[in-house]
Amino acid sequence: QVQLQESGPGLVKPSQTLSLTCAVSGGSITTGYYDWSWIRQPPGKGKEWIGYITVGGTTYYSPSLKSRASISRDTSKNQIPLQLCSVTPEVTAVYYCARKPGAVYWSDYDKYDFWGQGTQVTVSS
């Protein structure tokens, strides 16, 4: 059974860089036909896709976040880090990491097969 666990600071100041980590257990981030995704949900709103990294290490981002988001992978630790630079209060959300089969479209959240429990991030001075 694959398990994902997000971690990071709960509070970040505006203009700082947000760094989150997704620790994956029960499966390798470099095998199979899967994409490892970051998704967020602002308070009172729907899910927003941030981007994903493939098992081969290729990254894809939401056009609205591409200039500020960076998804990478640490294969030695089986982790998927996310960085968002120059954060604003609008970045406040619950952040999830999730796995989807490679053939599933990025917005088809119902077909993602594993999700982390999510981590709350608040941007405030």
- Mean pLDDT over all residues of the chain? 96
- Residue 96 pairs with which residues in a beta bridge? 39
- Residue 93 confidence (pLDDT) above 90: yes
Mean pLDDT of 107-119: 97
Residue 15 CA to residue 79 CA, distance in Å, equals: 25
pLDDT value of residue 98: 98
pLDDT value of residue 17: 96
- Residue 4 confidence (pLDDT) above 90: yes
Are 37 and 85 spatial neighbours (Cβ–Cβ below 8 Å)? no
3-state secondary structure of 103: coil
Query: Residues of 25-45 as b/e, b for ≥16 C-beta within 10 angstroms?
Result: eebebeeeebbbbbbbeeeee
Condensed to tens digits (0 to 9), the pLDDT of residues 57-85 reads 999 999 999 899 999 999 999 999 999 99
Are 15 and 28 spatial neighbours (Cβ–Cβ below 8 Å)? no
